[in-house]
Structure 1
């Protein structure tokens, strides 16, 4: 059974060549990854909808739904930031540029070294670690790859700023985060200048939206220090 709460470790291989899937699977399992497999684009789409994996290894020349179409669907229709590494026999510079334009995070040409693929996966996951996996505490569920937050099964309608604040607070439960630390996180993920008072305003709005679903705000103010998310 797939562990859907595994953070940063679930890899979906979308590849119609069974031998290549098996080779990648062997190396991935050795590295401790959870492995999902799909032999065509439509199956890959279903696996993404069902399991929301942390990273996708995507062949381009696939039956039923090709890799370019699947990549476009992930980014534009599924609205996911999940990392995508294209692994393909298409070697032209034009194909690579088109792959990156569609939203690929990396592009590997066949034939490949499995060790290099593992290294590329690790590098991509290091860059995208904050987007991977799901967080769940006391009725909350966050899906960073889709920017969605739920409480008691009901989706919270958050702005991008509010989601980023809730995300970093939930990643450090019961730990005081200063306004400077929260600002550093926002600066790292959003090109927009903000200040301490902006953080306070967004925290107020976030608490209000949480209280619409529950009697408790979960985000406590620690006077003179900052804020913390109370998970229990």
Structure 2
């Protein structure tokens, strides 16, 4: 299984099945994975389930309106993924209202699917760092958020442990020496850390991962260092 460092999934929440299918066709042509929802409640559920990199939300939705869904993503989920609102409303007040909920862009119907894809790519150029994550066998690390989860459940780590895990997951199967780990921590904390301290942090990190996952993700390579398995 390859480590995924860039999530290209896009959640499309649109109650008009024809428009939703058209958006999906054009996005998939550009290599995006499309997750479809026909109403706001389904959009919420799929957002939690798939953790997409981007969302395209129709404003006028059954169950939950697009603006409310956008606000939920920003405030309740504390997600800063790229969001485009799509609507038939064309007034300036409507656009301002939509953008104030946290959307990155606003597209009015009828629209060109090619233009929509271009707008998605434009927003992603500004927000692509929000989508970065390392994921392997259910263990997911999000560098920008400082979060680690296993199958959706949080794994609480210290700053040292998080940085070590990020380094190891970035180079799966590759032996990372204690000195390499020490150098990484030194840049973060601007103080000298002994190799013995590295071993202590690794032991604590391994214990936390095994408690939460029952898997041994970190292997000790005697005389050389550590490597990430998954």
Whole-angstrom CA distance in 2 between matches of 1:131 and 1:168: 18
Secondary structure at the residue paired with 1:79?
coil
- Matching residue of 2:97: 98
Residue 213 in structure 1 maps to residue 208 in structure 2: yes
Whole-angstrom CA distance in 2 between matches of 1:209 and 1:100: 44
Give unmatched runs, 5+ long, in structure 1.
184-193, 221-227
- Matching residue of 1:188: none
Secondary structure at the residue paired with 1:111?
coil
- Matching residue of 2:190: 196
Higher Cα Rg: structure 1 or 2?
A: 2
TM-superposed deviation, 1:88: 1.5
Q: Deviations over 1:102-153 (max 9, x none)?
A: 1112222222221111111122223222322642247742246865303698
Given the superposition, is the C-alpha separation of residues 152 and 99 from structure 1 closer, same or farther in structure 2, using an over 3 Å criterion? closer
Given the superposition, is the C-alpha separation of residues 150 and 52 from structure 1 closer, same or farther in structure 2, using an over 3 Å criterion? closer
Given the superposition, is the C-alpha separation of residues 109 and 140 from structure 1 closer, same or farther in structure 2, using an over 3 Å criterion? same
Kindly report the root-mean-square deviation, in angstroms, between the aligned alpha carbons of the 2 structures: 4.0
Q: Which moved more, 1:94-103 or 1:44-53?
A: 94-103
Structure 1-normalised TM-score?
Answer: 0.68
Contact 1:17 1:39 in 2 (8 A): yes
- Matching residue of 2:213: none
Secondary structure at the residue paired with 2:7?
coil
Give unmatched runs, 5+ long, in structure 2.
211-215
Whole-angstrom CA distance in 1 between matches of 2:123 and 2:33: 16
Whole-angstrom CA distance in 2 between matches of 1:64 and 1:152: 28
- Matching residue of 1:43: 42
- Number of residues paired by the alignment? 209
